[in-house]
Amino acid sequence: MPGRLIGIARKDRPHGPMELLDRVMIGLDTGVHGDHRGAIRPGKSNRRQVTILMAEDWTAAIADLGRPVSWEQRRANLLVEGVILPREEGARVRIGGAIVEITGECDPCRRMDAVADGLQLALRPEWRGGRIARVIEGGAIALGDEVEVEG
């Protein structure tokens, strides 16, 4: 059963503020259009074009933290619910009109503790910090789109 896309965010520069969106294009060379991390730079890998967070993992982390924090402060691009994202590299996920390939875990860094003390630790278990992915097929995505693991 497919899940759905419930959040889209991007930042135009390192450490920049997160901008919440209703819809956006995801491209092979851009990742989430307008997000500084998605663009492929010469000599760099495209392993981390898009970051995806499962709402259920975020809810569990926030419960452990013991205080509310909005999801975009995790600095992920996409928030999905109702689907279990794989942990295997190479697994493909269709999100609206785009397909991404999981390339690894989105490890929470010390910057999370600047958001809320203890958030980094709350995001560590079970890949709660999310997944990183590369774009395999670009397309438009919008809030409410289906999210489905392929294969």
Domains observed in the chain: 3-149 (2.40.33.20)
C-alpha span between 68 and 80 (Å, rounded): 18
Q: For 123-148, how does the pLDDT look when each residue is reduced to its tens digit (9 = 90+)? A: 999 999 999 999 999 999 999 999 99
Mean pLDDT, residues 91-119: 96
From residue 149, how far is each of 89, 99, 122 by CA, in Å? 13, 9, 26
What is the arithmetic mean of pLDDT over 104-122?
Answer: 94
- pTM: predicted TM-score of the whole model, two decimal places: 0.96
Report d(CA 123, CA 130) in Å as an integer.
Answer: 9
- Between residues 48 and 151, which one has the greater pLDDT? 48
E strand or H helix that includes residue 59: helix 55-65
Residue 40 has pLDDT above 90, yes or no: no
Q: How do residues 41-89 score in pLDDT, each as one tens digit?
A: 777 778 899 999 999 999 999 999 999 999 999 999 999 999 999 999 9
Query: Percentage of residues in the chain with pLDDT exceeding 70?
Result: 100
What single-letter DSSP state applies at residue 138? -
What pLDDT sits at residue 46? 85
Q: HSE (CB half, 13 Å, CA atoms) of 62? A: 15
pLDDT value of position 51: 97
Residue-wise pLDDT tens digits, 90-102? 999 999 999 999 9
